Amino acid sequence: MPVKTFAQAINDALSLAMELDPGVLCYGLGVDDPKGVFGTTLGLQERFGEDRVFDMPTSENAMTGIGIGAALYGMRPVMTHQRLDFALLSMDQLVNNAAKWRFMFGGRRGVPITVRMILGRGWGQGPTHSQNLQAWFAHVPGLKVVMPSTAEDAKGLLLSSIFDPDPVIFLEHRWLHNLRGEVPEGDCRIPLGTSRKVREGSDVTIVAMSYMTIEAIHAVSHLEEQGVTCDLIDLRSIRPLDWPAVTASVRRTGRLLVLDSGNLTGSVSGEIVARVASDCWTELRAAPQRLAMPEYPEATSPSLTRGYHVRAEHIVDKVGALLGRPLESASLQKQRTHPHDVPGDWFAGPF
Amino acid sequence: MTSEVGSQLLFQMRRIRHVEQEIARRYGEGKMRCPTHLSVGQEGVAAAVGLALLPSDLAVSGHRAHAHYLAKGGSLRAMLAEIYGKVDGCSRGKGGSMHLIDEAAGFMGSTAIVGGTIPVGVGLAYGMKCKRTDQVSCVFHGDAAVETGVFFESVNFAVVKKLPVLFVCENNLYSVYSPLRVRQPEGRSIAAMAGALGMSTASGDGNDALGVHAQTTAAIAAIRAGHGPRLLEFSTYRWLEHCGPNFDNDIGYRSESEYQDWKSLEPIGRLASALIADGRVTSQEVAQMDERIRREVDEAFEFAEASPFPDPSDAYTDLHDASVAAPAEA
């Protein structure tokens, strides 16, 4: 299988979807510019023309509604926001129209629109370029919310999102765009609502999403060296959420740690802990735990973000607390060779 | 103008008014259990635009949409059943008066958020452009909708892409109880303002149904010829309260004399008098129209009342396409 970056996998999925269905549109600020939204949309306009691939006015709300109208007409629009934060201007169209249309018109027609939103982090993205508001969208019946963490999943889930008959919010973490992985050729759709078991273990269930999965993999490997094995579940879809996979794992391990890339209060992790507490109460051997962003926005200065995000060492420490014994985590921090505000040497800004 | 256009407009306006008045008359029975925004007094614009559009053209509207839906050809029975919350309603009881749809008639939906369907109508037109059809997308909206950001955003895109959109602004002077003077600067012409965004616009007397029809027909011809979007602003007046079946001239936000002034200009009597005076319609034909309308409306109310309520389990349906594998959500 060819190895590609997450960004190339997104580009693959868009190209293939546009080949498969002439109704697929791809638009958003900068989709046809020289950078092509971090490479994800490069070359599409040349291949598919300006009617189907186009830049847009800075009109997030109307352009979302226009996508909805085009979807009602039979198109499959894919709209892209270079940051989720910009998409907040479109909440009316997303919540009142896209999410409601099928229901409020008694099932007469759905809205097959996909809205890509990129989640920023680090390099001084600051309070309004770094928000992880998946919980907002997951709260709304009628929306589906997808958060891939690998290149293969990015392609397979984006294809499924585009061909889904209903609106899908597709959240791409900026720190994943350069992640490499094997990506199948062709139509490799992955059903929405299915999680991926990343690691098998028996001591603790770790539920992760998006970039948190990467930190969790480092943590789980480190834990294995200390004789602790974890079930690591990458949710992939936030709504619908793969509850059977989560509860089955917790029933086996009796311990749950949820990793959330958003702020703690009102988060998806809170919903998962609540559901597990209700459904698996007697099987739990320790109080379910969460790691999420603290209760303030991400600041800009690197000196203010050093302790902001959940890293592998925090996960190891939390697993130790769940098991009631100290585990070594300091060496994880020492292994990190790049500054805390970038995902790796490949990232040198500007955004 | 043909006598056929005149009599069709007269028929549609009388039909819409009778429907609205019957809703108002029966509303107190408590069987239509949803907010209901009636169009009594504003029938001229709906009837004329509905007639000027082709059945294959599409339309969207807002919260006060009964007249637009009916004029576009939407099923009366399905609309009334919807207002009664019945399973035979156009939205199967999930939407009510503010969420009407009849895709077979090209009425693609009305929603309750002011301005909310404006971009949807523009998006329908983008689909038409992609598929190279010669359809027109008609966006019915009111004077308050032009105060929303999404109006400007939507018009801008329609102009940039030269999309086949007809914006029809019914200016009835009020947004709920708020008069234009607290919402827009004195002397503003909505048509002129919208024209500054780069499309041809015009204003007209919304209570002159023949005039509305002529202006709209010309605008649609230009749109179909590929000249891009048009906006028409028509002045008119709603007789009843913003929402509900009552007159509310006594509560202080507008005056009885203002209402009487507008009522003297109302569209139906004006057209009837003109057509009768010209000999294009006889009083007897008008009486026959009314009898036909009365029978249709009575039968539609009977249908709505007789239709069953949806099963309570229907509340769980229509959230997602049921043909897609059920998510593990429940």
The answer to whether position B312 is within a domain reads no
What's the pLDDT tens digit per position in A288-329?
999 999 999 999 999 999 999 999 999 999 999 999 999 999
E strand or H helix at A336: none
Mark whether A138 and A226 lie in a shared domain.
no
Mark whether A260 and A145 lie in a shared domain.
no
Q: Residue B121 is encoded by which pair of tokens?
A: 């109508």
Mean pLDDT calculated for residue range B238-248:
95
Contact state of A93 with B318 under an 8 Å Cβ cutoff:
no
What's the pLDDT tens digit per position in A79-92?
999 999 999 999 99
The answer to whether position B204 is within a domain reads yes
E strand or H helix at A114: strand A114-119
Domain that holds residue B131: 35-69+98-281
Domain boundary among A152, A182, A212: A182
Mark whether A132 and A64 lie in a shared domain.
yes
The answer to whether position B157 is within a domain reads yes
How many domains in chain B? 1
Write phi, then psi, for B205 (nearest 5 degrees): -85, 110
Question: What share of chain A in percent tops pLDDT 90?
Answer: 96
The answer to whether position A341 is within a domain reads no
Rounded Cα distance between B259 and B240, Å, is: 10
The answer to whether position A22 is within a domain reads yes
Mean pLDDT calculated for residue range A150-160:
98
Contact state of A63 with B149 under an 8 Å Cβ cutoff:
no
Mark whether A218 and A318 lie in a shared domain.
yes
Q: In chain A, which residues have their Cβ closer than 8 Å to the Cβ of B156?
A: 57, 59, 62
B330 pLDDT exceeds 60? no
Which CATH number goes with the domain that contains A308?
3.40.50.920
Domain boundary among A182, A210, A231: A182
The answer to whether position A340 is within a domain reads no
What's the pLDDT tens digit per position in B155-214?
999 999 999 999 999 999 999 999 999 999 999 999 999 999 999 999 999 999 999 999
The answer to whether position A188 is within a domain reads no
Domain boundary among A182, A210, A239: A182
The mean pLDDT of chain A is 97
B117 pLDDT exceeds 90? yes
How many domains in chain A? 2
Mark whether A232 and A297 lie in a shared domain.
yes
The answer to whether position B182 is within a domain reads yes
B326 pLDDT exceeds 80? no
Q: Is B318 on the interface with A (CB under 8 A)?
A: yes
Mark whether A215 and A82 lie in a shared domain.
no
Mean pLDDT calculated for residue range B57-64:
98
Give strand ranges (E) for B91-134: 107-110
Mark whether A25 and A169 lie in a shared domain.
yes
Residue with tokens 């391990």: A253
Answer yes or no: are the C-beta atoms of A341 and A122 closer than 8 Å.
yes
Which CATH number goes with the domain that contains B241?
3.40.50.970
Mark whether A178 and A150 lie in a shared domain.
yes
Which CATH number goes with the domain that contains A130?
3.40.50.970
The answer to whether position B23 is within a domain reads no
Q: Is A110 on the interface with B (CB under 8 A)?
A: yes
The answer to whether position B155 is within a domain reads yes
Strand-pairing partners, residue A3, are: A182
Q: In chain A, which residues have their Cβ closer than 8 Å to the Cβ of B60?
A: 69
Mark whether A178 and A201 lie in a shared domain.
no
Mark whether A178 and A200 lie in a shared domain.
no
B245 pLDDT exceeds 90? yes
The answer to whether position B4 is within a domain reads no
Q: Is A164 on the interface with B (CB under 8 A)?
A: yes
Burial (CB count <10 Å: 0-12, 13-18, 19+), residue B224: middle
Question: What share of chain B in percent tops pLDDT 70?
Answer: 97
Q: Residue A199 is encoded by which pair of tokens?
A: 């690691």
Ramachandran region of residue A207, left (φ > 0), alpha (ψ -120 to 50) or beta? beta
Question: What share of chain A in percent tops pLDDT 70?
Answer: 100
Answer yes or no: are the C-beta atoms of A290 and A257 closer than 8 Å.
yes
A1 pLDDT exceeds 50? yes
Mark whether A160 and A223 lie in a shared domain.
no
Strand, coil or helix: what is A313? Answer: helix
The answer to whether position B286 is within a domain reads no
Contacts for A86 with CB less than 8 Å, ≥ 6 apart: A29, A60
Tell me, rounded to whole angstroms, the distance of Cα A341 from its chain centroid: 19
Q: Is A139 on the interface with B (CB under 8 A)?
A: no
Q: What is the predicted ipTM?
A: 0.96
Report the first-to-last Cα separation within chain A, whole angstroms.
30
Domain that holds residue A227: 196-335
The answer to whether position A117 is within a domain reads yes
